[in-house]
Copies of this chain bind each other. A is one copy, B any other.
Amino acid sequence: MRLARHRLSLADATPPFFAGVDLGGTTIKIGLVDKLGGTLAFTRRPTEIDKGPDDGARRMSEAVTDLIREVGLGPQDVVRVGLGTPGTMDVPAGMLLEPHNLPGWFDFPIRDRLAQYCEKPVTFANDATAAAYGEYWLGSGRDFRSMVLLTLGTGVGGGIVTAGRPIEGEHSHGAECGHLLIDYHDTARLCPCGKRGHLEGYASATAVIQRTREALSAGRDSSLQRRANAGDAITPLMVAQEAEAGDDLARELVLDTARYLGIGIVSLVHTIDPDGVVLGGAMTFGGHDRPLGIEFLQRVRDEFRRRAFPVLADHVVIDFASLGGDAGYLGAAGLARVDQQQASAGPEVSHA
């Protein structure tokens, strides 16, 4: 396996080449990737939201051109660009709708504008979908035929790949894994979307902070209370630190988060029956590199196995993602590659 950002020399690369663009609220990541997923060049540019989406598309295109020149390729060697953006969006139309992370970049035809600036076709995807495809192509999912990525951060997102293709959904809302319903009772926790019982109301960073506050309000003795009294803001990092230091409540908060994820994964797996489920994002407690991350993963697996349909409980792999913040641009490039192969392979099977 080639590591994601391992710098591939042009002599070792396999054409054709693709550009992958991962548009975030703060940073745009852009990489040039060969047919096998090796990265020839990478750059990171500030999003500068206040300059607006047209200027953003122009600067993405400039960055792609700069990388092409830096590597010593000709403009025609990069055959297609992949672009992942946060939602809400309309994937078939190539539109940003109302992306919360990009205030003001609303109702904007980002795909076609970037294509005009680049003078190349652009494949457009949700950023979590792109990250899922990246992990599937080059990361923890590279031995899977189908997989689900759960992105664990401020919210809980996801992406699904089956039969070599992401499930974008008919309303550009496929893999809204944060909104899986895990508790139908009226007493269920409130999700930031305003409905009750969704996974995101239990397992997101926001939910961990909320659950911590509730436990401290209920008078639980904990080093978290002492840090809060000393003026520290309650954050998932603080909870992780105190859990690693052995605080009972902090450990319980981390492992309950794992438990809720395992519960959500049951419904995902019973629907999709993938080879594996991959956990990425900031809320993975250090992943395989830290004992807390390993314990977290084990609890996710245990809870899933305890509740899943037996055959699936035994065979579906649950693991951490392995590409970190590179999954997005790599996956966007990979989806561009899929579209380029499809374009040269002819029409798909029709409905009627």
Q: What band does the interface of chain A fall in when counting residues whose beta carbon is under 8 Å from B?
A: 35 or more
A51 interface residue, CB < 8 Å from B? no
A2 interface residue, CB < 8 Å from B? no
Docked CA distance A130–B342 (Å): 26
A228 interface residue, CB < 8 Å from B? no
Q: How many copies does the complex hold?
A: 2
**Contact present for A163 and B164 (CB under 8 Å):** no
A201 interface residue, CB < 8 Å from B? no
CB distance from A157 to the nearest CB of B (A): 11
**Contact present for A183 and B180 (CB under 8 Å):** no
Residues of B within 8 A of A179 (CB): 266, 270, 308-309
**Contact present for A174 and B348 (CB under 8 Å):** no
Given A171-B315, A193-B310, check contact A176 B88 (CB 8 Å).
Answer: no
Residues of B within 8 A of A350 (CB): 164
Can you name the residue of chain B whose Cβ is closest to the Cβ of A351?
Answer: B164
Residues of B within 8 A of A264 (CB): 181
Residues of B within 8 A of A172 (CB): 273
CB distance from A137 to the nearest CB of B (A): 8
**Contact present for B173 and A267 (CB under 8 Å):** no
Q: List 20 A-B contacts (CB under 8 A).
A: A146-B170, A167-B273, A172-B273, A174-B273, A175-B271, A179-B266, A179-B309, A180-B267, A180-B271, A181-B263, A181-B266, A181-B267, A181-B270, A182-B182, A183-B183, A184-B260, A194-B310, A196-B307, A267-B271, A346-B346
